Structure 1
Amino acid sequence: MQPTNTKKTFPAKPERHRRFGSTDPIPGSKPTRKEQMADLQNRREDYLFPIDHVGICQVQQPIRVLSELEPKSQTSIATIALTTSLPRESKGINMSRLTEQLEVYRQQGWTCQLAELCGFVAELADRMGQDNAEITLTFPWFYERSAPVSARTGLNHAEASIKVAYGKGQPFTAAVSLRVAVTTLCPCSKEISEYSAHNQRGMVTMTAEIDPASPPVRDWKAMLLEAAESNASSALHPVLKRPDEKRVTEQAYENPRFVEDMVRLVAADLYELEVAQAFTVECRNEESIHMHDAYAKITYDKRKEEEAR
């Protein structure tokens, strides 16, 4: 018995598109050349208010990250916001120039070093014809971590963020941030229980304002990581064998921390960092025996001490 040929035959692709709703282009009367098109954004009039920040956000780009810890050079994915100022008499900005600026730096193999970002925002303000420009990058930063007993290694990660701002005739400003996961063990639970104590995952977020003209000698990411982990009940580890688990469990029991303890201890470390002109420390403990989270926050500006002298 001969096999039946069941191969389907379709109309040509243009006909298929037509059947599913595609139509021919309509004749147009508006210009197609850029120099003949209306430029609404550059119209001058009284538009009621100047705008502090206007631009684009949630842009994702690969970025090369340099690190004090292994891996010392890595490629991460940054979520980027780019903004400039806009005077009252200007209707809008040329937003395509923002992504054009990104592409120029991407092709140059840019990194998220402070000096490069200062150059970026200064060029951006000039390209946009504005007095102010700002860039914010948020990206996962990976670092190698060894287990405390077996020394087995793996990669941990924290969320890093950098904001650099330029203002015409003013010094650059920069704020760096790191969000780190740690273990915290409840001091109250340890105190009142005959045995054991409940612990939780703590999320520590540290933001420090630094002077880009006097960047830190060490990697700021490593310094903030150390401030969070050294004050926690225990750091987190990607690889733990049984002897390692015993060590970190006992370490957490020996170092109980309330959320209030965490922000105060981390704040003390940041206060001692000369490069940190001002800082904010937040801690949120994801409680293991409650439906709610515990939260604390400290904000401190060392520059006010100098003003008071």
Structure 2
Amino acid sequence: MLKDIQKSADERGIDIQHVGIKDACLPFRIKTKAGDFQQVVAHVLFTVSLPKEYKGTHMSRFLEILQRWCDKPVAEEEMEAMLQDALSRLEAETAKLRLSFKYFVEKEAPKSKRKSVLDLDCFFEGEKRIGAPMAFRLGVTVPATSLCPCSKAIANYGAHNQRSLLQAVVEFRPSAPCIFIEDLAALMEAQASCPIYPLLKREDEKYVTEKAYEQPKFVEDILRDVVLALRSLPEIFWFSIACENFESIHNHSAYASHEEYVGDEMRISCKTQKI
């Protein structure tokens, strides 16, 4: 029998909180709102805790666990199964898994009704301790359009606008149903001056230009409106939001971020900063 070096004793007395594999690149099938799945390529971060008594963990077992799920539709239930498998096979107290991937949502142009797909940067993240339910987080980054209220108020011939990125990470209450990527993305982009559509004809371009002009918003406005929208969702336990406007008349971005536990009386104050 080959000697198991990872299981040998370590005398430095240091528990390691997270040890495992990072940037493994694997195919996964992500469950969609339509009830089917979307094939994605995911970058994986998969770790467990390591007691101070042991020299190392068994890295190959992480990939063995992941490979079993590459051809099955994955959402929070399957994430918990992977984490439970890691706790058992690696004899750990805690396990953490993040799948980061591009997800495509269908967009219909507002006037021509031409259809196209918009790519979103997303992740699933689960963390589980022995005997406890998994803490699950969904991360979604959505592009949108913002138009400057100040520019509109002072200029005679229009207003400057910019492309924005709205980043949300939401954690769900135990046993609460999770929100689909499609629904969270739609909720977020609705708080900007106008959504982004990959494919626009002339009549669509006219519409989105005028739509943004009718809904001017600072980065602070967008962030606060996203906060209010997320507070209205009973499934959410905690969230963080970051909004970045890529300024068209400056060589810097406007930025705002905020996080809070939903329903907590001591809400974390909104942190807004321009850089």
- TM-score, normalised by the number of residues in structure 1: 0.83
Residue pair 2:191, 2:226 contacting (<8 A) in 1 also = yes
Partner secondary structure for residue 227 of structure 2: helix
Residue pair 2:148, 2:216 contacting (<8 A) in 1 also = yes
Partner secondary structure for residue 12 of structure 2: coil
Residue pair 1:148, 1:247 contacting (<8 A) in 2 also = yes
Partner secondary structure for residue 69 of structure 2: helix
Counterpart for residue 227 of structure 1: 187
Q: Within 2, Cα distance between the matches of 1:211 and 1:274? A: 8
Q: Within 2, Cα distance between the matches of 1:67 and 1:306? A: 35
Query: Which of residues 48, 51, 65 in structure 1 aligns to 2:13?
Result: 48
Structure 1 segments of 4+ aligned residues over 6 angstroms from their partners: none
Counterpart for residue 180 of structure 1: 142
Counterpart for residue 32 of structure 2: 67
Q: Does 1:294 align with 2:254?
A: yes
Shift, 1:161, TM fit: 0.8
Counterpart for residue 173 of structure 2: 211
Shift, 1:196, TM fit: 1.1
Which residue type is aligned with residue 60 of structure 1? C
Per-residue CA deviation, residues 62-90 of structure 1 (Å, 9 max, x unaligned), is 11122226x95321111111100001111
**Structure 2 gaps, min length 5:** 268-275
1:71-90 map, 5 Å: 72-90=36-54
1:8-27 map, 5 Å: none
Counterpart for residue 127 of structure 2: 165
Partner secondary structure for residue 22 of structure 2: strand
Per-residue CA deviation, residues 154-208 of structure 1 (Å, 9 max, x unaligned), is 1111111111111012221111110000010111111110111111110000011
Q: Within 2, Cα distance between the matches of 1:303 and 1:128? A: 37
Distance verdict in 2 for CA 1:59–1:52, change over 3 Å? same
Partner secondary structure for residue 105 of structure 1: coil
1:195-274 map, 5 Å: 195-211=157-173, 213-216=175-178, 219-274=179-234
Residue pair 1:115, 1:212 contacting (<8 A) in 2 also = no
Counterpart for residue 272 of structure 2: none
Q: CA RMSD in A?
A: 1.7
Which residue type is aligned with residue 92 of structure 1? G
Counterpart for residue 101 of structure 2: 139
Q: Within 2, Cα distance between the matches of 1:243 and 1:260? A: 30
Per-residue CA deviation, residues 21-51 of structure 1 (Å, 9 max, x unaligned), is xxxxxxxxxxxxxx24x43211113223101
Which residue type is aligned with residue 84 of structure 1? V
Shift, 1:279, TM fit: 0.7
Which residue type is aligned with residue 229 of structure 1? E
Which residue type is aligned with residue 281 of structure 1? I
Distance verdict in 2 for CA 1:222–1:53, change over 3 Å? same
**Structure 1 gaps, min length 5:** 1-34
Distance verdict in 2 for CA 1:72–1:193, change over 3 Å? farther
Shift, 1:129, TM fit: 1.2
Which residue type is aligned with residue 40 of structure 1? I
Which residue type is aligned with residue 67 of structure 2? E
Query: Which of residues 87, 97, 101 in structure 1 aligns to 2:61?
Result: 97
Partner secondary structure for residue 100 of structure 2: strand
Counterpart for residue 155 of structure 2: 193
Which residue type is aligned with residue 231 of structure 1? Q
Shift, 1:239, TM fit: 1.2
Q: Within 2, Cα distance between the matches of 1:123 and 1:39? A: 20
Shift, 1:212, TM fit: 5.3
Q: Within 2, Cα distance between the matches of 1:125 and 1:274? A: 30
Q: Which structure has the highest strand share of the two? A: 2
> Kindly, what percent of the aligned residue pairs are identical?
34
Larger Rg: 1 or 2?
1
Query: Which of residues 79, 84, 98 in structure 2 aligns to 1:122?
Result: 84
Residue pair 1:172, 1:211 contacting (<8 A) in 2 also = no
Q: Which structure has the highest helix share of the two? A: 1
Aligned length: 267
Which residue type is aligned with residue 141 of structure 2? R
Residue pair 1:114, 1:215 contacting (<8 A) in 2 also = no
Counterpart for residue 3 of structure 1: none
